[in-house]
Amino acid sequence: MLITFEGIDGSGKTTQSRRLFEFLKERGVKVHLFREPGGTEAGDKIRELLMSFELDPKTELLLFEASRAELMKVVRPLLERGEVVILDRFTDSTLAYQGYGRGLDLDLIRRLNDLVTGGIKPEVTFLLDLEPSVALKRLKEKTRFDDPKLLERVRDGYREIAKAEPERVFLIDASRSEEEVFSDIVSFLEGKF
Ligand code: TMP
C-alpha cells in the first residue's frame, strides 16, 4: 500500500508523515518512509543539485522526475511484497509545483509521471491544505519555492487535484494543531491495518 503526503512548503507534511511512520511501526506494520526528491543515494545527489542552483523550470521538472525514477527501483519491490510505503511528496507535487506553479504543460507532466512510476499510484494521499501566508511563517529556512504568489498557484493546483480525485485525495485543514491533524489521519486509516 502506497500512502503519500502532499502540501505546500510549511504545511507540516514532513512532521505528519514521520508520525504516521512511527505509529504504524509501533503496531508491527512493515512500513517504510522516503522523501522526494531523494530517498536513494543518487536521488539525494539530485536533491542537492535542485537545492543549490537557480534552474530552468524544465531542468527542475526533469530532475524531480529523475529522482523519482531512482526511488521507484526501491519502492516497487516493497509494494510487491505487500509492505506499506509512505512518501513525503510524490507525483502530485510535480503537477502542483511545475505544472500549476511554474506553468509547464500538465499533460506532459502526467506522461512523465506515468513513465517514471510505471503506473504506481497512491492508494491514499493526505493533502495538508494551508494558506501560503501561514505556511511561510512556519518555515524556518528559505526554500526555492517561497514566493507567496507561486505558492498560491501551487495550493490552488493541489485543490484542483483533490477535486478531480476525491476517492484518493483526502484534503485536511492543516491550520489546526499537529495533534488534530494527526488524529484525522489516523481515523481515516482506521480499519485498514
Ligand atoms: P521538501 O521541502 O518537501 O523536501 O521538498 C523540496 C522542494 O521541492 C519543495 O519546495 C517542493 C519541491 N518539489 C517540486 O517542486 N516538485 C516535485 O516534484 C517535488 C517532489 C518537490
Report the percentage of the chain scoring pLDDT > 90. Answer: 90
Grid coordinates of 9: 512548503
Q: What is the dihedral sign for C-alpha 160, 146, 110, 192?
A: negative
Which H or E run includes 35?
strand 31-35
Confidence band (pLDDT; 50, 70, 90) for 138?
confident
190 vs 104: CA distance, rounded Å: 38
* pLDDT at residue 193 tops 80: no
Phi first, then psi, for residue 19 (nearest 5°) are: -65, -40
Q: Angle at CA 59, nearest 5°, toward 152 and 98?
A: 20
Neighbours of 15 (CB within 10 A): 15
Buried-state track 153-166, b at ≥16 Cβ within 10 A, e below 16: bbbebbbebbeeee
Tell me which of 4, 16, 36 to substitute to probe ligand 1's pocket, judged by most ligand atoms within 8 Å of the beta carbon.
36
Rounded alpha-carbon distances, angstroms, from residue 71 to 41, 42, 64, 98, 127:
9, 9, 11, 19, 21
pLDDT at 176: 97
Q: Ligand 1 centre from 6 Cα, in Å? A: 10
Q: pTM to 2 decimals?
A: 0.96
